[in-house]
């Protein structure tokens, strides 16, 4: 007997009536089996079939090749090498049907929806509302009016925290969030609690990053009005026990809001079965465009919530004396929505539904198991989080040799491999795990074992390169410190002024950077500058706190020059090589210079002049700005002291 769903098997199917062999009797139990030849088509099993079943212990390479053909970007290159895209937790790539749906709308049906009586507007309106019904079916919502289109998960959580929170929370109440949450499921609740006087309570994970529901039972009280939690941790991939969380909360008469951003593209979703009160996700993590997402909420809750924004389409009547509001879902969809995005979102939902979550889950879990095994071959690599129950996400650090996540990502990028590094908008979790950030490999069903192999080979190469560099540094340091005692006791090296003023130093440095037009060459120059810095990282880490806003660990101390107190000197170091290069730039510009001239120097303009503003990522630029802010704070203190 063939099981109701054929899971994780390789099938050879001959579709010819009358062929002797296995006849599938329980057709009512078998909804459909994926056709091998066309990614978007199915065939019905209503004829005798010759079926060979063999349990598969590896990924389905035919399936991977077939679906990859649907994603144009996967055929492109990065850094001159085939793209291996492992940043699906940040955003997924888009299949051709989704791209076509978006192009078709803007090419053939673009018009504003609702109220337009001409045919084009009616067509756009029909497609928009049909998309809502498709998404309602996709998530198991019984009432289509409970489905509200939003820009994404962040806007949805802000909507609930602002509209429901401010209307229902008071000083006597509590909101529980987990310690694994994305910032978008923390900050809006902080806003709501600050506005109402409610208390924000944190449900902390264990040392592996797992949530223990027994702890939730201990911290939840009759004051708890809302439990806000991810379905899947975006940083670690951990799948949370939503059914049990809902049970505990509802037994306490508390509501539950679920952030499903990392779930819906990988598993079937049924909000009715989950029993939660609010559920949200972002389209761009479901192979749909950016700027579109969904908030689902119980009708009885939504109807009692005041509108989140005011404007067109969310009103019933408007007068200067009073405004009345439209019914659901329009009440929460002020202004012109992302019509094309909603239509493309529905197309994306249809796309993954046609592939089948059974196949998607099997493929991604096989990828996860293979990647876990292969990554164990990388020297000094440590995976964070448990493997108890997780999606195809691996967060890791490299500790022996110690390589900063930022350097790892840059090295992989040169090999055409895209991963995400940093705190993943989970700074509290990173603090709990006692790391400044991690490297995150997040996979989708279109990834392959070959791509995993490329990832591991590149990491092994990086580890070997770092080991060699560390060995040379150790030999050099050993030769330089003979007879001078423990190097840990040596004084920090403060850089002397490189030129007479920051402007003069900037001109000299600009000559080097302006020799290169491409970001890669500028990066190489930064790395060379960083190699010239003294190694003060360990000593600085003992003396000061890390500079905030940096993807890597950065430590910086400054002081008035002992023999010229109107001048400022500083020492800084980082565990990331490229950031050490940025520190070298700051050191050449500012260390040993007059505090007043440092404050007058147009650093943002200088970055534009030498071309660093266009290639330093927003996150890395934030770290650079963090260092500049600390330098300015110390320089300001010197000028104020001089003026008193």
Distance CA 349, CA 140 (A): 12
Determine how many CB atoms are found less than 10 A away from the CB of residue 304.
11
Do the Cβ atoms of 279 and 135 come closer than 8 Å?
Answer: no
Q: Is 503 a catalytic residue?
A: no
Distance CA 404, CA 409 (A): 9
Question: Which residues have a Cβ under 8 Å from the Cβ of 351 and sit 6 or more positions away?
Answer: 40, 70, 95, 97, 98, 287
Do the Cβ atoms of 443 and 368 come closer than 8 Å?
Answer: yes
Q: Which residues of 210-232 are buried (b: 16+ CB within 10 A; e: fewer)?
A: bbeeeebeeebeebbbbbbbbbb
Q: Which residues of 368-401 are buried (b: 16+ CB within 10 A; e: fewer)?
A: bebbeebbeebeebebbbbeeebbbbbbbbbeeb
> DSSP string spanning 593-619?
EEHHHHHHS-HHHHHHHHT-TTTS-HH
State how beta strands 77-78 and 393-399 pair.
unpaired
The kind and range of the H/E element at 70 are: none
Do the Cβ atoms of 148 and 294 come closer than 8 Å?
Answer: yes
Do the Cβ atoms of 573 and 581 come closer than 8 Å?
Answer: no
Distance set, CA 170 to CA 200, 249, 258, 535 (Å) = 12, 19, 22, 52
Place of tokens 């509802």: 250
Phi, psi of 75 (to 5 degrees): -95, 0
Angle of helix 119-139 versus helix 339-355 axis, rounded to 10: 40
> Which DSSP category does 274 fall into?
H
In the chain, DSSP finds a helix count (H) and a strand count (E) of 22, 25
Closest CA to 186 of 218, 210, 154, 219: 154
Closest CA to 448 of 122, 152, 183, 67: 67
Do the Cβ atoms of 364 and 391 come closer than 8 Å?
Answer: yes
Distance CA 625, CA 502 (A): 17
> DSSP string spanning 297-366?
E-HHHHTTSPPSS-STTSEEEE-SS-EEE--TTGGG--SS--HHHHHHHHHHHHHHHHH-HHHHHHHHHH
Closest CA to 448 of 370, 353, 389, 387: 370
Q: Which two tokens stand for residue 221?
A: 């009280």
Question: Which residues have a Cβ under 8 Å from the Cβ of 294 and sit 6 or more positions away?
Answer: 135, 139, 147, 148, 149, 150, 156, 280, 281, 283, 345
> Which DSSP category does 109 fall into?
I
User: 425, 426, 439, 503: which one is catalytic?
Assistant: 425
Q: Annotated active-site positions, please?
A: 425
């Amino acid at each position: 007997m063939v099981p109701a769903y054929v899971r994780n098997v390789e099938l050879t199917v001959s579709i010819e009536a009358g062929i002797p062999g296995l006849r599938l009797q329980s057709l009512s139990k078998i909804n459909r089996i994926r056709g091998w030849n066309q990614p978007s088509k199915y065939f019905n099993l209503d004829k005798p079939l010759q079926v060979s079943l063999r349990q598969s212990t590896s990924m389905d390479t035919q399936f991977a090749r077939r679906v990859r053909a649907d994603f144009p970007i996967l055929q492109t290159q990065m850094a001159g090498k085939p793209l291996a895209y492992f940043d699906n937790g940040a955003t997924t790539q888009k299949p051709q049907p989704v791209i076509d749906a978006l192009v078709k709308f803007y090419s053939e049906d673009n018009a504003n929806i609702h109220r337009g009586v001409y045919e084009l507007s009616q067509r756009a309106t029909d497609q928009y509302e049909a998309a809502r019904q498709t998404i309602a079916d996709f998530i198991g919502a019984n009432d289509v009016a409970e489905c509200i289109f939003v820009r994404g998960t962040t806007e949805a959580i802000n909507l609930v925290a602002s509209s429901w929170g401010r209307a229902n929370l008071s000083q006597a109440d509590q909101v529980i969030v987990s310690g694994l949450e994305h910032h978008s499921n923390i900050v809006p609740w902080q806003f709501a609690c600050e506005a109402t006087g409610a208390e924000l309570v944190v449900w902390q994970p264990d040392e592996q990053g797992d949530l223990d529901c027994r702890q939730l039972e201990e911290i939840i009280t009759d004051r708890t009005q809302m439990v806000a939690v991810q379905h899947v941790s975006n940083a670690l991939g951990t799948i949370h026990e939503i059914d049990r969380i809902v049970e505990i909360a509802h037994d306490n008469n508390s509501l539950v809001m679920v952030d499903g951003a990392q779930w819906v593209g990988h598993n079937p979703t049924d909000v009715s079965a989950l029993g939660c009160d609010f559920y949200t996700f972002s389209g761009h993590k479901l192979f749909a465009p950016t700027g579109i997402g969904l908030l689902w909420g119980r009708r009885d809750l939504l109807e009692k919530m005041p509108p989140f924004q005011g404007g067109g389409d969310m009103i019933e009547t408007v007068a200067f004396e009073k405004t009345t509001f439209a019914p659901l879902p329009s009440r929460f969809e002020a202004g012109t929505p992302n019509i094309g995005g909603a239509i493309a979102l529905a197309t994306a939902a249809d796309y993954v539904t046609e592939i089948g979550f059974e196949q998607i889950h099997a493929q991604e879990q096989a990828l996860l198991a293979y990647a876990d095994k292969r990554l164990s071959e990388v020297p000094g690599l440590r995976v964070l989080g448990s493997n108890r129950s997780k999606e195809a996400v691996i967060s890791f650090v490299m500790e022996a040799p110690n390589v900063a996540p930022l350097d790892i990502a840059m090295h992989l990028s040169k090999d055409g491999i895209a991963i995400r590094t940093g705190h993943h908008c989970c700074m509290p979790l990173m603090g709990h795990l006692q790391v400044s950030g991690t490297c995150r490999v997040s996979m989708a069903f279109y990834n392959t074992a070959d791509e995993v192999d490329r990832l591991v080979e590149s990491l092994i190469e990086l580890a070997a390169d770092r080991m060699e560099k560390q060995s040379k540094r150790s030999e050099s340091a050993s030769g330089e410190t003979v007879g001078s005692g423990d190097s840990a006791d040596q004084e920090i090296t403060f850089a002397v002024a490189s030129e007479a003023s920051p402007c003069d130093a900037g001109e000299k440095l600009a000559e080097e950077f302006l020799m290169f037009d491409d970001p890669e060459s500028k990066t190489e120059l930064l790395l060379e500058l960083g190699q010239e810095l003294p190694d003060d990282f360990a000593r600085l880490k003992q003396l000061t706190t890390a500079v905030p806003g940096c993807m890597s660990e950065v430590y910086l101390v400054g002081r008035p020059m002992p023999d010229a107190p109107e001048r400022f000197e500083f020492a800084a170091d980082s565990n990331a090589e490229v950031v050490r290069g940025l520190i070298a730039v700051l050191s050449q510009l500012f260390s040993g210079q007059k505090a007043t001239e440092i404050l007058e120097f147009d650093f943002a303009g200088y970055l534009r002049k030498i071309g660093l503003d266009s290639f330093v990522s927003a996150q890395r630029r934030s770290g650079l700005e963090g260092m500049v802010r600390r330098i300015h704070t110390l320089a300001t203190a010197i000028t104020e002291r001089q003026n008193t």
